[in-house]
Structure 1
């Protein structure tokens, strides 16, 4: 395999398993540790990966640079417009705001603005998130074609918490409700400790990205959700006007 091919495999491995150390990555990829270490150093030199904070040993995570490049093949959104909207939402609700894009049957967090609370949601950039158990994923599924929705639910849906919807009919019914309401709600369906609200961002090729507000389940109330949802709809409509003209 060429050096470029190896570097791409290593980058994909970091994105899938982050934060991850060289030894674990070498085992998962079945590539010699010395080769993986060399690729990691090269990727770090061009700022595509960086050491995870707070780790006693070096464990790697992807950077926003790598994720921004990956997202270019998806929704054509002006980064500065979306970032401005994300900061405004964080300032209004003081909870994490995530920008996610769809990648196959998962969503990936490509940017985030964090709450100032001492206790807040921790979701590293690049982490793959199941669509049926997340607010962003359900928002994008609801905005997908009927054929796409049917293909997704016609599979073995993994149960993550006791609130995860794994019954196809129940999930399709919820997606219908999201289409009518415009925004989705996650009440501890991927991780019991995390809840959120999301709305898909309209783009020329159809929604492939979403904005979500994520917060600890114990801190988010029904009244806040009722306020966050309509506000998200206003924000994604503004983004669509800025970017689609």
Structure 2
């Protein structure tokens, strides 16, 4: 079957995703994993090398730092990143925990910024990391303020299980989203990372449009009910200040 422009682009990004997942690879290795002809994979890799998005040394290919450049530029185009910068630092200092700003993109939660407090557990969290909305506190905080028809569409595709605590029942999730709207924050208890509790508040602008969510994560052993209530107040306050800041970005 001849390549169409859409098919060519899809193949190129499939190869990039495979390279990113594994860090590097030879054309033959990638071809085997992707079940594509070696010659086809090699041609795509060479085109990606020519554009600067892939590097090659001793016939081993790697994603290049061009992706960092593209991502960094795009991240700083988000007004919410500028509006939340000081608040993330303040929340990290006040709670001592791991703090993130996430947005919703293509029905996923995407990290835009990370700040670590003095007691934060180092997590595999970095700008650009993405995850299903339903498995995270910030994802649920954002789902609670998305158009109901869109939420229904997301639920209809199924709720993937990440840990034994992940909510996979749509009715249970919808009940939680209603609770999020009532109290102004969301919680996940080991639903994406076992043993971790995350608390998040949505960031809305003056038109009540969703702009993201601020999240604090810490080990379950450190976040008892009293501590959770304190952190919930902190993230709600930070979300409110960010909302005000958005008017002046």
TM superposition score category, shorter chain reference? 0.7 to 0.9
- Does residue 209 (structure 1) correspond to residue 212 (structure 2)? The answer is yes
Q: Relative to structure 1, is the Cα distance of residues 224 and 44 closer, same or farther in structure 2, using a 3 angstrom cutoff?
A: farther
Question: Partner of 1:130 in structure 2?
Answer: 132
Question: Partner of 2:241 in structure 1?
Answer: 238
- In the alignment, is the contact (CA less than 8 A) between 2:101 and 2:214 conserved in 1? yes
Q: Secondary structure at the match of 2:101?
A: strand
Deviations 1:90-144 (A, max 9, x none): 0111111111111122111121112333743221332221111101100000011
- From 182, 186, 207, the equivalent of 1:180 is 182
Which runs of 5 or more structure 2 residues have no equivalent in the other structure? 56-60
Q: Secondary structure at the match of 2:217?
A: strand
Deviations 1:208-235 (A, max 9, x none): 4111112233333222211111211111
- Does residue 42 (structure 1) correspond to residue 47 (structure 2)? The answer is no
- In the alignment, is the contact (CA less than 8 A) between 2:30 and 2:41 conserved in 1? no
- In the alignment, is the contact (CA less than 8 A) between 1:198 and 1:210 conserved in 2? yes
Q: Relative to structure 1, is the Cα distance of residues 156 and 80 closer, same or farther in structure 2, using a 3 angstrom cutoff?
A: closer
State which drifts further: 223-232 or 178-187.
223-232
CA RMSD of aligned residues (A): 3.6
- In the alignment, is the contact (CA less than 8 A) between 2:189 and 2:196 conserved in 1? yes
- Does residue 104 (structure 1) correspond to residue 106 (structure 2)? The answer is yes
Q: Secondary structure at the match of 1:200?
A: strand
Q: Relative to structure 1, is the Cα distance of residues 145 and 119 closer, same or farther in structure 2, using a 3 angstrom cutoff?
A: closer
- In the alignment, is the contact (CA less than 8 A) between 1:22 and 1:33 conserved in 2? no
Deviations 1:139-171 (A, max 9, x none): 000011222222222232112222111111111
Which runs of 5 or more structure 1 residues have no equivalent in the other structure? 46-56
User: Per-residue deviation at 1:240?
Assistant: 1.0
User: Higher Cα Rg: structure 1 or 2?
Assistant: 2
TM-score relative to the length of structure 1:
0.76
Distance 1:229 1:64 in 2: 34
Distance 1:202 1:11 in 2: 34
TM-score relative to the length of structure 2:
0.75
Distance 2:196 2:24 in 1: 26
Aligned length: 229
